Chains A and B, each alone.
Chain A
Amino acid sequence: MRFVDEFREPELISRTAEEIRRLAGTELHYRMMEVCGGHTHAIYRFGLKDILPSNIELIHGPGCPVCVLPMGRIDDGLAIAQQPDVIFAAFGDMMRVPGTQGSPLEHKARGMDVRIVYSPSDALKLARLNPEKHVMFFAIGFETTAPSTALTMMRARAEGIRNFSVFCNHVTIIPAIRAILDSPDMRLDAFIGPGHVSTVIGCRPYEWIAQNERKPIVVSGFEPLDLLQSIVMLLRQLNAGEARVENQYKRVVPWEGNHAALRAMAEVFQLRPYFEWRGLGFISQSALRVNDKYAEWDAEQRFEVPGIRVTDPKAAQCGEVLKGVLKPHQCKLFGRECTPEHPIGALMVSTEGSCAAYHSYEHRKAAMEPSLTSIA
C-alpha cells in the first residue's frame, strides 16, 4: 500500500480497472499487443497484468531496438572498429550486447577504443575533438532516435567533418507490425500503439491496421492510467465491432507527428529493401540506410563490412513469443539456458525485451515490490 501515492490519480485507476472488468465481462478472449518495449517494461513494473481480467491477454511486441538487432550487425560494427584509428561510439544500451566475439565492452577491455555517448551529436563532437581519428557512431533505434542521427549527419556534412560516420541500424516500426499481422500463426485482436515513436510519425501510419486488417489500435502513454485507459478504448472498439486508430496520448502525440523530424529522416535515409530482425527474420523495407548524398558519412559505404550473418539459435523460440503464440516462460530455454545474465534469444538481451522483463518481474513478485494490485 505504501506505493499507492506514487501513481497519479489512484481512484481513477481503480475506476478504470473496474470499467475494464465490466467491458471484458463477455465470453470473448482479448489478445492485445503492446508494440513498444517501454510499454512492456511499464506493464511489468506496474504489475498491470495482475489487475486485468484473465480473458485480457497482453502480448509483448517487437519494439525493443536492442533486442531485435541481429548479432551479425554487432560483429560487423566491431569489425569496422578493429581498423586502426577508429573510435567505436554507441549508446550505453549497446555496451553489454553480445556479438559472437563478445560485447563492445569486452572489446574495450581488449584494447578497442570504445566510447559511450548519450547523444549522436556527442559522437560528432568526439570527431571534432579527435581529428586524427575516425569516429564511427553505431546507431540504433526506431523513429524516436533516427531523426537525431539524421540531423547529426546533416550537421557533419554542413561543417565538412569527414572523420565521422554512422553505422546505421535504424529500424521502422510499421513493417514489423505488418510482418506480425501477416504471419500465419498470428493471434492478435488489437494493438496498444507506441507513444514516443508516434510523436515523430504521428497516427496516420497506423490507419491501414484499422482499415485493412480490421484491428483497433490506440496510441498510448506510459503511466498506469494511460495504459488502462488505452485498454478501455480498445475494449469499447472490439465490443462494438469497430476498428479505428485512436490517440490516448494526445497531450504528447500530435496526429500529424513531427514534420521537422520526418524531413531530417527523409534528407539522410532511404529504406533498405530488407533487413533482418532477431526473432522475426528478414522483413522487407523495415530499416533505414544512409542515402548516396551522405555516402561519405555512411560507415557501410566507407569501410569494408564483412556482412556477418549469425543464425538465431534454433532452440530459442523468440519468434513465437513475439507473435503471441507462446508466453516467455513457455520457451524451452527461458530461465534455464537463457537468462538476462546470459541471453541466448533476442528478447532476453535488454530490460525492455519481453523475456527479460518477464524474468525480472517474477523476481520482483517474489520481493513484493510496488504493484498496482494494492489499489485496484
Chain B
Amino acid sequence: MCLAIPGKIVEISSGNADSALVEVAGVRRKIDLGLLQDDKPVPGDWVLIHVGFAMSKISEQDALEQMNTLKILGEAEGAIQEVKGYGLEDVN
C-alpha cells in the first residue's frame, strides 16, 4: 500500500481516457490515470502506481530501479500480487 509499484503504460482505454492498460513485470492490468490528469501519460511512459492509481510519471531508469528496490526490500512478490489483484476477477 505504501511502496509505489512501477509500471509501463501499454494502451489508453478507448472508451475511457482515465483508464489504461499497464504492464508490471509481465503482468497486465487496468489502472486509473485520473490523478495524473494535469500531465497525462501516453503509451510507453512509465508511472508509479499506488493502490491501482498512477500517482507520478517517472523515467524508465527510475522505474527499473524502483522494481529493484522492491526486490531487495523483499516486496516484489507482494507488489506483483497487488497488481494481479487489480480489477477483481477481470483477467486480461
Task: Name the one of A122, A140, A155, A196 contacting B50, with C-beta atoms under 8 angstroms.
Answer: A196
Are A252 and B3 neighbours in the complex by a CB distance under 8 Å?
no
A122 to B62, CA, bound (A): 28
Other 6 A-B pairs with CB < 8 A, given A6-B72, A144-B1: A92-B82, A117-B85, A119-B86, A129-B88, A141-B1, A196-B2
Determine the chain A residues whose CB is within 8 A of the CB of B72 once the complex forms: 3, 6-7, 45-46, 370
For B38, the closest partner residue in chain A by CB is: A260
Is residue B69 contacting chain A, with contact meaning CB distance below 8 A? yes
Is residue A110 contacting chain B, with contact meaning CB distance below 8 A? no
What string of 1s and 0s marks CB contacts (under 8 Å) between B47-89 and chain A? 0101111011011001001001101111000000011011110
Are A144 and B86 neighbours in the complex by a CB distance under 8 Å?
no
Are B74 and A122 neighbours in the complex by a CB distance under 8 Å?
no
Determine the chain A residues whose CB is within 8 A of the CB of B48 once the complex forms: 196, 199, 252
Is residue B43 contacting chain A, with contact meaning CB distance below 8 A? no
Are B55 and A144 neighbours in the complex by a CB distance under 8 Å?
yes
Are B73 and A42 neighbours in the complex by a CB distance under 8 Å?
yes
Interface residues of A in 251-267 (CB under 8 A from B): 251-254, 258-261, 264
Are B68 and A121 neighbours in the complex by a CB distance under 8 Å?
no
Task: Name the one of B36, B38, B52, B83 contacting A122, with C-beta atoms under 8 angstroms.
Answer: B52
Binds B, one of A145-153, A236-244, A286-294, A298-306: A145-153
Is residue B34 contacting chain A, with contact meaning CB distance below 8 A? yes
Is residue B35 contacting chain A, with contact meaning CB distance below 8 A? yes
Is residue B92 contacting chain A, with contact meaning CB distance below 8 A? no
Closest 4 CB pairs of A and B: A119-B52, A118-B85, A148-B53, A261-B35
| Total number of A residues with any Cβ neighbor in B under 8 Å | 51
**Contacts A/B (CB < 8 Å), 28 sampled:** A6-B71, A8-B65, A8-B68, A38-B3, A42-B69, A65-B2, A91-B51, A117-B85, A120-B51, A121-B32, A121-B52, A145-B51, A147-B53, A148-B32, A148-B35, A151-B35, A196-B48, A196-B50, A199-B48, A199-B56, A222-B3, A223-B68, A252-B62, A259-B38, A260-B37, A264-B34, A264-B35, A370-B72
Is residue B4 contacting chain A, with contact meaning CB distance below 8 A? yes
Interface residues of A in 89-136 (CB under 8 A from B): 91-93, 116-122, 125-126, 129
Are B35 and A251 neighbours in the complex by a CB distance under 8 Å?
no
What string of 1s and 0s marks CB contacts (under 8 Å) between A176-206 and chain B? 0000000000000000000010011000000
Are B2 and A151 neighbours in the complex by a CB distance under 8 Å?
no
Are A148 and B68 neighbours in the complex by a CB distance under 8 Å?
no
Is residue A69 contacting chain B, with contact meaning CB distance below 8 A? no
Determine the chain A residues whose CB is within 8 A of the CB of B4 once the complex forms: 144, 196, 199, 252
Is residue A41 contacting chain B, with contact meaning CB distance below 8 A? yes
Are B3 and A251 neighbours in the complex by a CB distance under 8 Å?
no
A15 shortest CB reach to chain B, Å? 18
A129 to B87, CA, bound (A): 12
Task: Name the one of A91, A145, A252, A261 contacting B58, with C-beta atoms under 8 angstroms.
Answer: A252
B37 shortest CB reach to chain A, Å? 5
Tell me whether A148 and B51 are in contact in the complex, defined as CB-CB below 8 angstroms, given that A37-B2, A38-B2, A260-B38 are known contacts.
yes
Are B74 and A45 neighbours in the complex by a CB distance under 8 Å?
yes
Determine the chain A residues whose CB is within 8 A of the CB of B82 once the complex forms: 92, 118
Q: Which of A91, A125, A147, A148 has the most chain B CB within a 10 Å cutoff? A: A148
A297 shortest CB reach to chain B, Å? 16
A223 to B4, CA, bound (A): 13
Determine the chain A residues whose CB is within 8 A of the CB of B71 once the complex forms: 6
Are B56 and A118 neighbours in the complex by a CB distance under 8 Å?
no
For B49, the closest partner residue in chain A by CB is: A119
A148 shortest CB reach to chain B, Å? 4
Determine the chain A residues whose CB is within 8 A of the CB of B56 once the complex forms: 199, 252-254, 258
A279 to B48, CA, bound (A): 31
Tell me whether A41 and B85 are in contact in the complex, defined as CB-CB below 8 angstroms, given that A196-B50, A196-B55 are known contacts.
no
Are A141 and B65 neighbours in the complex by a CB distance under 8 Å?
no
What string of 1s and 0s marks CB contacts (under 8 Å) between B25-41 and chain A? 00000001011111000
